[in-house]
Amino acid sequence: MSRWLTEPVPRGRVAAFRTLIYLFVAADLVVFTPWVRTRVAVPGELYQPLLIGRLLPLPTPTPALVAVIFWVLLLLALLAATGRAPRLLGWSVFALYLEWMIVAMSYGKVDHDRFGLLVALAVLPTAGRARHGDATRTEAGGWALRATQIAVICTYFLAAWAKVRFGGPEWLTGSVLARAIIRRGTELADLIAQVPYLLIVAQFGIVAFELLSPVVFVLRERWRLATIGFFYSFHLVTMATITISFAPHLAAMTSFLPLERVRPVVWARRLLRRRDGVDADPEDVAAEYVQASAVGRAVGP
């Protein structure tokens, strides 16, 4: 079990995942959850902190406090995305984002799509230093990615358990998706809703998919990546029909992907050289060969 939990991964994958996660935190503040800054404008009596907020000596949020958290967290997340001071910046971002989420979820609705992201922020500081393109393998980085993967799959599995526990069989045979389409459905959803019994079949399919999601851990890499692709397609359909994005969850799910193969800076540099008629940088070519050999794939055109 310990070998599986700490299966080594290329440091380049850890570096890419770290950059992506911290950039997402910055984007989350300004795109997905800017409403947190206005939520605290209500009387303090309406603040009902989550259990962790009751256990920790956290103050009742005020507009000034939340504004400070917003700007400091935004700055630190952008700095952390560079990979510098991974422990200091990583722990700081985790602590501030956790408080941001406690404030966000302590006025009513609690979103479950942020569990994987929070776990990723909690474990990334333990992964140590990592450079983009580095093919050297690291057990600490492997553990950080594995912990995030487990959190992602737990999000699915426990969501199914919650459906069965609180909704009972009626969740499967009721009008859950029909109500969702009425509330926030798109034109595509309206077309789908006209097909007899399709929504009921979809509800059974959703629960089955969530309950079976842990199977991804026993699949070979090729099939595991295909399964993750299916997970992403599920959320694409969800967004296209009832406009629920699960963006934080999707960001955390990139922990399953070979992100070390995604080198936008190298690709851009190579494209500019080709445009200017300059040969490829030998260092870039050598790095690509080392990285490719580390992941066991062919190199070349």
Q: Which pLDDT does position 21 carry in this prediction?
A: 98
Whether pLDDT at 286 is above 80: no
User: Global pTM?
Assistant: 0.87
Best CA proximity match to 213, nearest among 252, 164, 156: 156
The model's confidence at residue 278, banded by pLDDT at 50, 70 and 90, is: low
Count Cβ neighbours within 10 Å for each residue of 31-60 and write b for 16 or more, e otherwise.
Answer: eebeebbebbeeeeeebebbeebeeeebee
280 pLDDT band (50/70/90 cuts)?
A: low
The mean pLDDT of the chain is 90
Give the separation between CA 214 and CA 149, rounded to whole angstroms: 10
pLDDT digits 0-9 by tens, 20-65 = 999 999 999 999 999 999 888 888 888 999 898 889 888 999 999 9
Q: How far apart are CA 166 and CA 170, in angstroms?
A: 10
Query: Does residue 301 surpass a pLDDT of 60?
Result: no
Condensed to tens digits (0 to 9), the pLDDT of residues 85-131 reads 999 999 999 999 999 999 999 988 888 899 999 999 999 999 999 99
